[in-house]
Amino acid sequence: METLEITKEKFLETATQNISGSEAVLKAMIAENVKTIFGYPGGAIMPIYDALYDYQNQLQHILVRHEQGAIHAAQGFARSSGKTGVVFATSGPGATNLVTGLADAMIDSTPLVCITGQVFAHLLGTDAFQETDVINITTPVTKWNYQITDATEIPHVLAKAFYIAKTGRPGPVLIDISKNAQIQKFDYAGYTKCDHIRSYRPKPIIRKEFITEAAKLINEAKKPFVIFGQGVILGKAEKEFKNFIEKGGLPAAWTILGMSAIETNHPLAVGMLGMHGNYGPNVLTNECDVLIAVGMRFDDRVTGRLDKYAKQAKIIHLDIDPSEIDKNVKVTIPVWGDCKETLPLLTQLIEKKEHTNWLNKFHEFTQKEIDVVINAELNPTGDVLTMGEVIKTVNELTNGDAILVSDVGQHQMVTCRYAKFNQTKSNITSGGLGTMGYALPASIGAKFGAPEREVIAIIGDGGFQMTIQELGTVMQSKVDIKILILNNQFLGMVRQWQELFNDRRYSFVDITSPDFVQVAKGYYIDGQRISKRQELKDAVQKMLQHKGSYLLEVMVGKENNVFPMVPQGCSVSEIRLS
């Protein structure tokens, strides 16, 4: 009897079913262990939503208020969970509303699978209602995209989509499915996950001879310096990275997206690189003798003037994407491969060392920065609240264990400068694209991706109004996020540039905002506004202890600037403290 039952089960597994393309889409989601989908229905994707009605016990759908909100939420989900984010949107404006998020995910290497509906295949190219050529529009901002007009393609195309999105250097994939393919019935023989594509090699072959050469350079170095990016987090190589720097006694600085790969108070952590990064890492980039770059792409905000960047140093670059090596900075030794695999090989070959005098030089620069900039920002003597002291209070009350999702602007730079983290995947922000409006929807997704962690969205008064409608998503989904608005009544970063480089000609940066607390209450979200220092700690504590979402608006100085700063067109060693 037992043998007959096994045979029957095997038969049922292999037997074909006559199902619709829409149902095949949902079966693919379940097979890929997708739990949460962010989306917005519409005419061209209605068959998939109709099928979703019967799958609500297996797939959680979060109804956003705008498709851009859906894709930023999926980004936040991917960044906090380490999984692939999933988005559903309709054709035409629904699909084009995803473009900003696709570009953001592409440059920040965020794995997404976006499903867009499309008009019937026979209407393609006729300028039908809500038809756009989404494939050509999104080609530059996706890792791969594909249009399906026949339902039989759905299982294997979606398998490829998930495989491409999450392997190698991750990125967004968009699959456009015509309405007839969604409705079409076909013989479904099951779903097989993809683990190989002949024309696609997600990880380059590791060249052991380059690792040997890199280790030799590191062992001979007197002033070695490690700079690391998000590749460490994406590669799940935090432990391997820490072993590497600790064995070599290597000072290490992070890019914005690399932040939290190691705890910010690690003895070898020397701060943040970049335009508003820390003083020591920027200046000493141009004094080190060996520069080891791990999982970062030498973005212009990190390098400043390329013709004056680390010219004295021999450069080792570890990256999974060969196209990034020698793209901006000419390297001495390329180390292709997944850093989770290459770092242990390198660690085996480097000598156990301590570069005490060299590390102390970073500490000397840190002290100078504390004296000139940090004390004034974190411990101000004036009456006006600073953004830095707000972040300092958040640090103290969360013990560095919260996920901070920052928007784009001065508050983003202040958050990244002063936040303290003990766990990986804790700093979520729009890095390469710098998308205002990112934080509110991304924080929603981040909470679904890491429900056990405190998620705090830190947003400026300008960026908040770009996606303020997603308060409706917070309300309906009952997601528990904390929203911290740092309101300086300006588009602060642009105003800072206009002050420093345009003779204080403040052209259209003075922004008037609504009463954010009252707006939030309209969405049944509690909150308060404060403007006095003596209110700050109790207000942040109240926000953190509140059950459910909460909005805290803090009025900060109108014309406070973020320093240090590397002016555009200058080298990193020309960083200004004031």
Burial letters for 506-533: b for 16+ Cβ neighbours within 10 Å, e otherwise? Answer: eeebebebeebbebbeebebbbebbeee
Res 391: pLDDT: 98
CA atoms lying within 13 Å on the CB side of residue 191: 21
pLDDT at 12 over 70: no
Q: In what order do the strands lie in the sheet with 112-118?
A: 60-63, 36-39, 85-89, 112-118, 172-178, 144-148
Res 15: pLDDT: 64
Q: What is the DSSP letter of 371?
A: I
Whole-model pTM above 0.75?
yes
Please tell me whether residue 74 adopts helix, strand or coil conformation: helix
What domains can you pick out in the chain, each with its CATH number?
12-188 (3.40.50.970), 208-361 (3.40.50.1220), 385-559 (3.40.50.970)
**In sequence order, which residues have a C-beta less than 8 Å from that of residue 518 and are 6 or more positions away?**
none
Tokens representing 125 are 């190219």
**Closest of 195, 36, 189, 67 to residue 469, by C-alpha:** 67
Tokens representing 230 are 């998000």
> pLDDT tier at 392 (50, 70, 90 boundaries)?
very high
| H-state helical runs in 112-257 | 134-138, 154-166, 179-183, 208-220, 231-234, 238-248
| pLDDT one-digit tens code per residue, 132-163 | 999 999 999 999 999 999 999 999 999 999 99
Helix/strand/coil percentages in the chain, nearest 5: 45, 20, 40
Distance, in Å, from the CA atom of 203 to the CA atom of 142, rounded to the nearest integer, reads 18
Q: What is the mean pLDDT of the segment spanning 555-577? A: 92
Residues marked active site are found at 67, 129-130, 179, 493
Res 5: pLDDT: 47
The partner residues of 39 in beta bridges, in order of sequence, read 63, 88
With tokens 């080891």, the residue in question is: 292
Task: Give residue 425's identity as a one-letter amino acid code.
Answer: K
| pLDDT one-digit tens code per residue, 437-491 | 999 999 999 999 999 999 999 999 999 999 999 999 999 999 999 999 999 999 9
Distance, in Å, from the CA atom of 165 to the CA atom of 113, rounded to the nearest integer, reads 7
pLDDT at 1 over 90: no
pLDDT at 341 over 50: yes
Helix (H) or strand (E) holding 494: helix 492-501
**Is residue 139 a contact partner of residue 9, using CB atoms and an 8 Å limit?**
no
Res 2: pLDDT: 42
